[in-house]
Structure 1
Amino acid sequence: MPEIRPLSASLQRTAIEELNEVPDRLDADIATLRTWIKQQPHLRSRSDDQFLVAFLRGCKFSLEKAKAKLDKYYTLRTLYPEFYTISDVDSKRTHELLRLGVALRLPIPLHDNGPRIIYVRPGCYAADKYSFEEIIAIGHGLTGITLYNDDYAVIHGFLFVLDFSNYTPAHMVQMTPSTAKKMSVFGQDAMPVRDKGRHMINTNAVFELSFNAIRSILPTKEQNRISVHGSNLESLYAHIPQKYLPAHLGGEQGTIEELIQHHLNVFTEHREFLIDETNYGVDEKLRPAGQQYDYNSIFGVDGSFRKLNFD
């Protein structure tokens, strides 16, 4: 038997019906993926059962898709560590960024057994003190913990609520087209977790300006997953029942302070895991010929919105 957490009856049913999982074949599927990893001279990857089954489930047990995502997961983290990894788990700066609580995982999934809800506050930090790259690196760096520990996310996916309260022009200029592309590519090509939608609330004129500029570079599929509700929470409640939101939005998922503390506790509990993450990646000098990814071309020149008039 594979060394993975047993799923609840509901999650196991979804894994079988929606992700093509065959429980009796799990050992063989995981072993096949592990063998492939060992055959890749350029790839240093985790290879334990729990990690590999996350990629298989996220790719609906298509071995070729799982291989591609796993390779890109480590390739992006190696090529752009400042954007996709936590460089120093114990640094004061890292803990400051964590305490900001920009992206918070809510404890109860949608409908109790559905997608994991992530509450994001893009305007909650001082843009003159922290860069967006620093902010997003924390989230990307914690993805490994999610793949290991969150069966709801792996099987049902992520559902994002982005609250643009206090979002300013200073935040907007940090969201360059290249940055948006890096976020999109990682989510679409490297993460074995389904995107179940993005709901934008408390939006303002600054958000509209940046959103209209960025949206056009996103894949059509990703654009169609976005819903903008403005300040109309009733519109949001039609998609996410009120009880599944944080307390200040009328829900039962805890206060911001409680959610941040939980976030910090998870980080602390997995300190050794996060330190160990630095041992994995790719060595492009050892990659077989013809298998390179030209991400510099994909991401392009890093422009910004600094020349726009906000009057």
Structure 2
Amino acid sequence: MAVPLRDDPGPGAWRREPSTVVRPAPAAPADPVGPFVIVAESQVAEAPLEWEPHAHPMHELVWVRGGTMTVRIGDRLLTVPEGRGLWLPAGVEHAGRLTAGAELSDAFFAPDRTPVAFDGPTAIAMPPLLEALLAHLADERLGAGVRARAEAVVFDVLEPAEQQFALQLPGDPRIDPIAEALLADAGDGRGLDDWALELGLSERTVTRAFRRATGLSFAQWRRVLRVHLALKLLAEGFDVASVSEQLGYAQPSTFIEAFRRVVGATPGSFSFRSSSPHRVSGKPLHLS
């Protein structure tokens, strides 16, 4: 099963399938909830969707079923797999990509009436109770008392996830060509010595630049990037062996071990096509 060919999206951008539907910034009314705090909605992507960079006047919580969403905020990439959500504070500019067939849900929160706060964009745990409450709040027929009680419970269970699926992009012109090449083709097998020779730098310079810009070594950064892309491919229905090959691993066992070292679970644990949210405990993917 082959991954569709990507268009060339330009320096620093993410890969784009030819069938991707690019949409302008989605509209979000400044105050769509009247006296209440939360409004929720959902949609299903028939094709890969991409939203241009935009910001909302309200806090936004997004989560998906049957796929993944990738969000780019400045020089950070954040992956939202099934069973997790992403909190985007009001005013934070972001762009998003959604895999085909995924159901995207989001909820907007009036900033001046939201009694919880997070330190910037934050991965949110999405237990079944929270999903059910937000789906309940999507019903415009709810009475005032019922809505207010449901909102109160939402704030009781709204908590950060144990894993923050974030990757810091370098933003250093000396090593940005490496990041751009790997974003375009994560299976690129060139090692640190190859890149140093190609860029006319010493291996020590490349290593120090990656550490300074991302907090990770070159090998660690590439491994985390590959896990981000693996989550997307797994959500699209590719099996572990196929994902391993496409990401440049010689053996599936090597990929499985690399995935486990980053996430704390095996790729097979991520069954995004299941009917219930998936939870995995383990160490953070990478806190930027």
Q: Which has the higher helix share?
A: 1
Q: TM-score, normalised by structure 1?
A: 0.27
Q: Which has the higher strand share?
A: 2
* Greater relative CO, 1 or 2 (CA 8 Å, sep 6+): 1
